[in-house]
Amino acid sequence: MIKPHGSDTLNPLFVQDDKARAELIKEAEGLPSIVVCSAAAANAVMLGGGYFNPLTGYMNRADALSVAEKMETTGGLFFPVPILNVVEDASSITGAKRIALRDPNVDGNPVLAVMDVEAIETFTDDEMKMMTQQIFRTDDMEHPGVKAFNSVGKTAISGPIQVLNFSYFAEDFPETFRTAYQIREEMAKLGWEKVVAFQTRNPMHLAHEELCRMAYKAVKADGILVHMLLGKLKEGDIPADVRDACIRVMAEKYFEPNTVLITGYGFDMLYAGPKEAVLHALFRQNAGCTHLIVGRDHAGVGDYYGPFDAQKIFDEEVPKGALLIEIFKADHTAWSKKLNKVVMMRDVPDHTKDDFILLSGTKVRAMLSEGIAPPKEFSRPEVAEILINYYRGLKEKPKIKLHKHSGG
């Protein structure tokens, strides 16, 4: 199986020994504490699960600025985006060398991790602007990632952490949430060496399903890791539990047995396009995958990125050898009326737009909202049924407030 990023073995920061963890939980109750933002909590979950190997905690100001500008720490470690614990006000922990980090997404704000404080530093407005521009390629506050990044404060608390739990993810998604080391263990049991990963924050339609098969066959993989984001999304995106149900029914009914693992990870979506695609590749390598599918507008939002910018970054900006995982570059996939199957558009140069069944996301949402299933050439009927029921529920309860940590 592929080596993790930056080390020979994976070093997750979750305290796995029950006795040691119980002692830390007890110690944490007597420590100065701070409620972190959702992004910092998600970073802790990812660090705990080994996804951000080989980091030992949150980056300091110098490393964050270096990573934003050059995709490497001051010590030369390749990393695509800063991994930060940023707060508006750190006065409650001034002078503390060891603190407890409390979870903003779980009722009662339980302790998520214990941290050794190495530095408390504040970014200037210019530094925040530079990082924003480098990570997101825009500083437009209408961009959901830009808005989230710039609305939680400018003071970074850095240092190593010991993670005590996985926030709401393990409890809310027990069948789906997996750490990087758990995924490695499951793939080892299955005897998988070559594994292609598929990233999704949406329900999977027929084109996504076929894309996974195309990549699986093209790289002669042993298996497919369908790896869905379970954390916070922008308003209007499909909640994680609904996506989970859609993907599971599709995999169970339409994939060959023992060819696909349905899993999820606890992270808040950045919508950072190319830079997030590189982060996706890094943490899939840490999970043991040898290939990552990167398609059109991977991790994008709106019109902020070109359709293939998330592929170009691997050729133009990621240093050769920085990552071991390989990228499977995908074109737009759709049903061909001529060939009566899903194809990649680049593979059928004789086709015109009218030869494909193409539906915009807006059109699909409108159909589902009216209780109309998209054509079978676009979506599996079982998936459409789950989504129709979800949209029907929204209509019946337009003012319903989602649970504080519903994963959507």
Active site members: 201-202
Helix (H) or strand (E) holding 199: strand 195-200
Q: Which residues contact 194 (CB under 8 A, 6 or more apart)?
A: 219, 220, 221, 222, 290, 291
Q: From CA 93, how far away is CA 103, in angstroms rounded?
A: 16
Whose CA is closest to 63, among 83, 35, 90? Answer: 83
b/e map of 134-155 (b: 16 or more CB within 10 Å)? bbbbbeeeebbbbebbbebbeb
Residue 107 tokens, joined: 């009722």
Q: From CA 252, how far away is CA 356, in angstroms rounded?
A: 27
What is the separation, in whole angstroms, between the first and last Cα of the chain? Answer: 32
For the CA atoms of 56, 62, 68, 69, the dihedral, rounded to the nearest 10 degrees, stands at -140
177 close to 166: Cβ distance less than 8 angstroms: yes
Strand pairing report for 291-294 and 111-116:
unpaired
**3 state SS of 45:** helix
Q: From CA 230, how far away is CA 268, in angstroms rounded?
A: 8
Whose CA is closest to 101, among 48, 138, 170? Answer: 48
Helix (H) or strand (E) holding 357: strand 356-357
Residue 376 tokens, joined: 């079978």
